[in-house]
Amino acid sequence: MDTNTSTGQVTGRASRYAWVIVAVLWLTLLVSYFDRVAIAAALPFMSRELGLSPSVVGVVTGALFLSYTAVQVPAGYLSDRIGQRRVIAAAIAWWTVFSFLTGVVASSLIALVAVRFLMGAGEGFHPPPLWRTLSNWFPSGGRSKPLALMLTALTLGPALAPVVALPIISSLGWRWVFYLTAIPGALTVLLVLLMLRDSPLKKNLRTDVPPSRHLAQKRNWLLPHIWLTFGAFFFFGFVLYGLMSWLPTYLIKYRGLTLTHAGVFSSSPYLAGTAGLVIGAFMCQRYFNNVRRRFIAATYLLTAVSIALTVLAPTVNLAGLALTLSGFFLFAGLGPFWSVPMDIVQPHEVGMWLGFINMGTQISGFLGPILIGWMIQTTGSFTVVFLAMICSLVLAAGCLTMARAKPVPSALMRASVPT
């Protein structure tokens, strides 16, 4: 097996253990998104018991994304410096504690917002080392497929959340949704410590930074393609987290569905998104590898069309079908999306740059639920919300179309292993 001695990255055929790494990363992402989205299933019942208005609900759900956003770049920097495996294990342990505490402190609004804010800090330290680890194990041009397979956790987590959470709520109460997240969280930390490796050569891959007064000047933060990619992910995140936060409420409160039917329609867009992730990545890598940005932009526009069909659907079943289509197209471009910045930044800065780009969707993850809550409270309708999502997707497609990928100039850094 050929490897790059500076990063430990596989440059020839990926080893068999690389797919074990994908499986471990997939599980960490599944637990992350399940814990994050579980609150959406509990919100209608929390709101009723605690008397929360839609605007306040938006603050509760958005608090997580505020801290999540704030730690993205520091998380990428730290994971590049001390090793990805260590940061991932610590992040999971941190957010698991505060996910459990969500059920404990929920009777106090201030405490609830504080706990969700602190949980978001743990969640935010997870993605940058995850991207860096996958980048270490797979070569440039061969990452779309493993990325898509790993990112199916982003769709399966939200798909499983209502299916698992709503029966728990029905039998034990909504607080138990948060109490029980401690079990998969603890098991995942143990699995990461036992099975995860930062690269084929290193258990804990650390990048040593040579002392230089001019190092900060060599990193150019004014690169148009980075900011356009950031913008695309911002507008994408408004739709993604808007649906994650408000879809069960929309189906139960505004469409009048029972818990059983709401669970099905809340899950179907994400199950379709799982298929979209895999099919989209395989199609893009095989047929559109040289025009990935256009392929991703097309998936955003098709999502916009599907959401428009949801607004126009005369029946609940047709609206559910349109939402399912929107989930398929929304996630179809996600695997290729992450492979674009991975190919254009320096290997030793993947964690930092992708952490920065990921800030785009987390900022919208914070602002989006609050804005959606305000729109619902002001208009009493979800139609304006769906129209805002359509505009956001068009803007995301425009950002990607304008981006021109060029390698990021950066000082070369040495990689070493801690003793």
The DSSP-derived string for 190-202 is: HHHHHH--SSSS-
208 pairs with which residues across the strands? Answer: 414
Superfamily name and number for 16-147+160-199: MFS general substrate transporter like domains (1.20.1250.20)
Instruction: Report which residue type is found at 403.
Output: A
- The three-state secondary structure class of 414 is strand
Between 11 and 96, the more confident residue is 96
Identical fold at 16-147+160-199 and 222-409?
yes
Question: If you ran DSSP here, which 8-state letter would residue 210 be given?
Answer: P
Question: How crowded is residue 48: how many other Cβ atoms within 10 Å of its Cβ?
Answer: 11
Q: pLDDT tier at 342 (50, 70, 90 boundaries)?
A: low
**pLDDT at residue 266, as a whole number:** 73
356 pairs with which residues across the strands? Answer: none
Distances, alpha carbon 76 to alpha carbons 71, 232, 381, in Å? 8, 20, 39
Question: How crowded is residue 16: how many other Cβ atoms within 10 Å of its Cβ?
Answer: 8
Sequence spans of domains, the chain: 16-147+160-199, 222-409
**Cα 267 off chain centre by:** 17
pTM: 0.68
Asked whether the beta carbons of 95 and 35 are under 8 A apart, the reply is yes
Q: Distance between CA 273 and CA 80 in Å, rounded?
A: 31
Asked whether the beta carbons of 340 and 138 are under 8 A apart, the reply is no
Q: Of the ranges 95-99, 172-176, 380-384, which one carries the lowest mean pLDDT score?
A: 380-384
Alpha helix (H) residue ranges in 333-409: 334-344, 350-379, 383-402
User: Does CATH place domain 222-409 in 3.40.190.10?
Assistant: no
Mean pLDDT of 48-75: 81
- The three-state secondary structure class of 3 is strand
CA dihedral 49, 374, 165, 241 (to 10 degrees): -160
Between 386 and 417, the more confident residue is 386
Q: Distance between CA 43 and CA 102 in Å, rounded?
A: 12
Which range of 35-39, 91-95, 329-333 scores highest in mean pLDDT? It is 91-95
The DSSP-derived string for 301-351 is: HHHHHHHHHHHH-SSHHHHHHHHHHHHHHHHHTHHHHHHHHHHHS-GGGHH
Q: Distance between CA 282 and CA 280 in Å, rounded?
A: 6
Please write the tens of the pLDDT for every residue from 210-232: 544 444 445 556 666 778 888 88
- For residue 288, which phi and psi values (nearest 5 degrees)? -125, 25
Q: Of the ranges 71-85, 143-157, 397-411, which one carries the lowest mean pLDDT score?
A: 397-411
Of 44, 59, 40, nearest to 371 by C-alpha is 59
414 pairs with which residues across the strands? Answer: 208
Q: What share of the chain is helix, strand, coil (3-state, %, to 5)?
A: 80, 0, 20
Question: How crowded is residue 344: how many other Cβ atoms within 10 Å of its Cβ?
Answer: 18
Show the beta-strand stretches assigned E in 108-159.
none
Please write the tens of the pLDDT for every residue from 88-128: 999 999 999 999 998 888 778 888 899 999 999 999 899 88
Asked whether the beta carbons of 90 and 52 are under 8 A apart, the reply is no
Whether 189 shows a pLDDT value over 90: the answer reads yes
Q: Distance between CA 248 and CA 58 in Å, rounded?
A: 14
Percent of the chain with pLDDT over 70: 81
